[in-house]
Amino acid sequence: MIYNSKKILVTGASGFVGGFLIDEAISRGLSVHSAVRKSSNTKILDQLNTTLVYFDFEDIDGMVQMLKDGSYDYIIHNAGLTKAKAKEAYFKVNEQYLRNLIEAIRKADLQLDKFLFVSSLAAFGPADFQDNNIVSESSTPHPVTSYGRSKLAAEQYLKKQQDIPYNIIRPTAVYGPREYDLLTVYQTLAKRIEAYVGLSKQKLTFVYVKDLVRAMMDILMSDHEHTRYFITDGNTYSAQEMNAIVKRELEVTWTVPIKLPIFLVKVLAFFSEKMAGLSGKYPPLNIEKVNELQARSWHCDISPLQDDIAYKAEYDLDNGLKETIAWCKKQGLV
């Protein structure tokens, strides 16, 4: 470990990416503070050498005092909302809370070395709408979900804050241990059901969580400011390729393949939302999710990241899923 006297605040620290990010920041020798809500599950963080800070993004004055007390050199704003019933909730958490945090930074007169905002490829949407079938910085954004639109609005706001030394990173689908959205896919394949959405093949992109957090820290500690990056592992995959890896790791030798037309998936999502409404929980399969599932390509340009920080993923989908499935087995999830 290289020891560093500087301090970093990470929001969204109790989430899937947050736990790995805190671990990576600690490994860089930084003094790490984890911003969480009082209702957050801090089981993972309690095992790490980090100080918990209870943050309320609606209390700007409270944040000002905490920022003054912390006197941070770096901030990674990783907190965000990925699932919600109402689009207003996405914009409140993903855009307005960013605005509130920036206002608090200014009021606290915090002289940051760097501010990293975690956006998403969803802010630009799939490559289906791009003439060259690849999403790049010069592409016209075409988000297909309220989540993506809220992240784009947050980006557009942050780009105007030229006094803030910011970077923006836009991960594609992030996976790894402790990630539960793709767990449904693993569990379905374990039951020998191999479902595909749509009748044509897709170009999917992924980034393993350890590669993501390593890149985030490299960007944060680089000399580059006001830059924006997409991040994947550098490859594109079909759903068939992904499923083949999962089946191998689960030792599933046969499955029943099912191809679901988009209209049928939309019907299933509609009823899934209605049924979930009775319990108050937003389901993994929802109308907005279908907008992402029906996209045929999530190919994006990561060359700026390669140029600026010499980024090269250590994990492709094969060895990333191998590690992920091993964790799922150990936890008794598959």
- The confidence score (pLDDT) of residue 277 equals 66
How far apart CA 14 and CA 196 sit, in angstroms, is 32
How far apart CA 80 and CA 96 sit, in angstroms, is 11
Structure token pair of residue 141: 């954004």
Q: Which of 119-123, 168-172, 196-200, 240-244 has the lowest mean pLDDT?
A: 196-200
Q: What predicted TM-score, i.e. pTM, was given to this entire model?
A: 0.93
7-175+206-232+300-314: CATH topology: Rossmann fold (3.40.50)
**Long-range contact set of residues 254-257: C-beta below 8 Å, sequence gap at least 24:** 254/192, 255/189, 255/192, 255/193, 255/194, 256/192, 256/193, 256/194, 257/194, 257/195, 257/196
Q: Which residues contact 105 (CB under 8 A, 6 or more apart)?
A: 67, 75, 112, 115, 164
Q: Say whether pLDDT at 278 is over 70.
A: no
Angle at 148 between CA 147 and CA 154, to 5 degrees: 95
Structure token pair of residue 219: 């960007």
- For 276, list phi and psi in degrees, rounded to 5: -65, -30
- The confidence score (pLDDT) of residue 2 equals 52
Q: What is the pLDDT of residues 315-333, one digit of tens each?
A: 999 999 999 999 999 999 9
How far apart CA 26 and CA 49 sit, in angstroms, is 7
Average pLDDT over residues 3-13: 88
Average pLDDT over residues 261-280: 80
How far apart CA 117 and CA 97 sit, in angstroms, is 12
Residues β-bridged to residue 167: 116, 227
Q: What is the pLDDT of residues 162-195, one digit of tens each?
A: 999 999 999 999 999 999 989 989 999 999 999 9
Q: For residues 117 and 77, is the Cβ–Cβ distance under 8 A?
A: yes
Q: Say whether pLDDT at 1 is over 60.
A: no
Q: Which residues contact 220 (CB under 8 A, 6 or more apart)?
A: 8, 74, 76, 114, 116, 167
More confident residue, 276 or 57: 57
